[in-house]
A and B are shown apart, each in its own frame.
Chain A
Amino acid sequence: MSWEPVIGLEIHVQLKTESKIFSGAATKFGAEPNTQACAVDLALPGVLPVFNETANRMAIKFGLAIGAEIAERSVFARKNYFYPDLPKGYQISQYELPIVEKGLINVAMPDGTTKPIRITRAHLEEDAGKSVHDVFPGQTGVDLNRAGTPLLEVVTEPDFRSAEEASVFLKTLRGLIRYLEISDGNMQEGSMRCDVNVSVRRRGAEKYGTRAEVKNVNSFRFVEKAIEYEIERQILIIEDGGEIAQETRLFDPSRNETRSMRSKEEATDYRYFPCPDLLPVETTKELIEEVKATIPELPWEKQARFEADYGLNTYNASLLAQSKSSAKYFEDVIEISKAPAKLVANWMGDELAAALNKENLSIAECPISAERFAGLIARIADNTISGKIAKTVFEAMWNEANSTADDIIEKQGLKQITDPAQIKAVVEDIITQNPKQVQQYKGGNERLFGFFVGQTMKATQGKANPQQVNAVLKELLG
């Protein structure tokens, strides 16, 4: 009998504000420990939180982008627990009345389908500090720089059925928060962190199985690995007649496995109650309109436009639209080169993407500017060079700053031969030099056609236009 995994995600998105959610301390990443923690963040007696309006606007912006309901009235609550990196003994969060509820994100999957993922809610809260366990023997060091950094916690419905869906969704979400300029969305630096809820049930069953929560999985690859491990672990337990414990588990990337983190008898009871230090937050229609006006063309809107205007398939369009810089690069290249969009999309998806991946660069860091890349594409489009020669030119451009495709074609004499008389002369030579192969070909060995093409290309150092070579060969060989 087959099993169906049911997966939900909780994503903590660090909002890109200058100052903290309830204090005027700075939020820069990588500062010296405790240099960005003021009296409010340290919970000294008598301090009071004052809410950062930009954090509120960013949450509203996110809500509007996913078509969610924005609460007219949201309320901060206290989530109570003890840990040294939480000086107040509680975290200020939104519980019963979050700012954002009931949104939807449509995810473009690699197989061309679209997977709708419902967003239960997104609420504002403060981040905790960081505990350092391995520096002082027998002691824990506490850095409170991160304490009070604004977080938007995005909670999905259990709508994922595979690890791949979860990971593609996370990339889509990261693309969105970057478009909206509300977060860096950098999983390695912790500005986007993910908890994963996994359960399994027999295919066709209505009831969900008992779920395990895997905490702080900090890369797309780890999210996939953690989910795959959990699915397998849970199926094995149930098939052995056991039961899944509802518990929190921790992913260990060095061993690609999850392990139990909290013992069950210490079941958490956060005793939420409205925070008496903060009043309800009112969101007016005017504010919503104001924020709405700042929303740029969204990734999926761009993707739909790329499909409609340029005839790209959904997945390719979604890849190009995933970051503002790649979408801009794509459209700049089309505009400058005047080449067909599909040609640009293919070259960006193949050669350019492979070269960027190899050196671990983003498109924003690409050593070949859109203008130079357009120069190369234009020469492919107007048949000056073949696709194969273009790869050589691309490589030279990649390694030589500021070089243009035209310079390289000129310098290395790579210009494609399109003069019919010249091609015909070369082909005639090849035929004369290889009488044996001609005879075999005419005797029915059609596979030898490739041999003639190869010889012709070799004789022209790959510069002959391949379509013309084919045509001339067909004509002369009969």
Chain B
Amino acid sequence: MQIDANEIQKIGKLAKLSFDKKEQEKYAENLNKILDFVEQMNQYDTTGITPMAHPLDIAQPMRKDAVTEPDVREDMLKLAPEANAGLYVVPQVIEDKES
């Protein structure tokens, strides 16, 4: 698999990042190196091996269902660029376009 500048632009758009032409080429080159590195795996026969979902071969520990976190609203709202009436305030987002 090879990644080209178009692919970089597409991934960038999904990640809300923009690159100039020089950057596109640079990132394509870097990502291709990573893919080449991982490509080495294909020389091994992995038939019948369950894919791992995590590098550690242990199961997820769990917590009891209990409320342990207090209300930290005032501290958190102070960290935000803008807050009003207990809400975080961001530039207007309207996703629903009328057709």
Contact = CB atoms under 8 A, between A and B. Distances in A.
Given A132-B87, A141-B87, A260-B97, A52 B69 contact: no
A262 B56 CA distance: 40
Contact of A39 (B56, B67, B72, B77): B72
Interface in B17-45: none
Given A34-B86, A263-B97, A281-B60, A140 B65 contact: no
Given A37-B76, A140-B92, A262-B97, A24 B67 contact: yes
Interface stretch (A53-61, A180-188, A389-397): A53-61
Size category of the B interface is 35 or more
Contacts of B86: 32-35, 143
Interface string B65-99: 11111011100110000101111111111111111
Contacts of B59: 279-282
Contacts of A259: 98-99
A274 B72 CA distance: 30
> What does DSSP make chain A's interface, helix, strand, loop or mixed?
loop
Nearest to B86: A33
Contact of A276 (B54, B67, B89): B54
B49 interface: no
A136 to B, nearest CB: 6
A260 to B, nearest CB: 3
B58 interface: yes
Interface string A307-345: 000000000000000000000000000000000000000
B53 interface: yes
Contacts of B82: 139
B84 A279 contact: no
Contacts of A37: 72-73, 76
Contacts of B67: 18-19, 24-26
Contacts of A203: none
A34 B69 contact: no
A86 B61 CA distance: 25
Given A52-B65, A281-B59, A83 B72 contact: no
A70 to B, nearest CB: 15
A353 interface: no
Given A260-B99, A262-B95, A52 B89 contact: no
B88 A133 contact: no
A358 interface: no
B63 A24 contact: yes
Contact of A133 (B72, B92, B97): B92
A204 interface: no
A14 interface: no
B1 interface: no
A53 B64 contact: yes
Given A51-B61, A140-B89, 18 more contacts: A18-B65, A18-B67, A19-B68, A24-B67, A24-B68, A26-B67, A26-B69, A32-B73, A37-B73, A40-B69, A50-B63, A53-B65, A132-B87, A133-B94, A139-B90, A140-B91, A279-B54, A282-B59
19 contacts: A19-B68, A24-B67, A38-B69, A39-B72, A52-B62, A53-B62, A53-B65, A75-B53, A133-B92, A133-B93, A140-B93, A142-B87, A250-B96, A259-B99, A261-B96, A279-B56, A279-B61, A280-B54, A281-B59
Q: Which 6 A-B pairs have the closest CB atoms?
A: A24-B68, A260-B99, A141-B87, A54-B65, A38-B69, A53-B62
Interface of B: 14, 16, 53-54, 56, 58-69, 71-73, 76-77, 82, 84-99
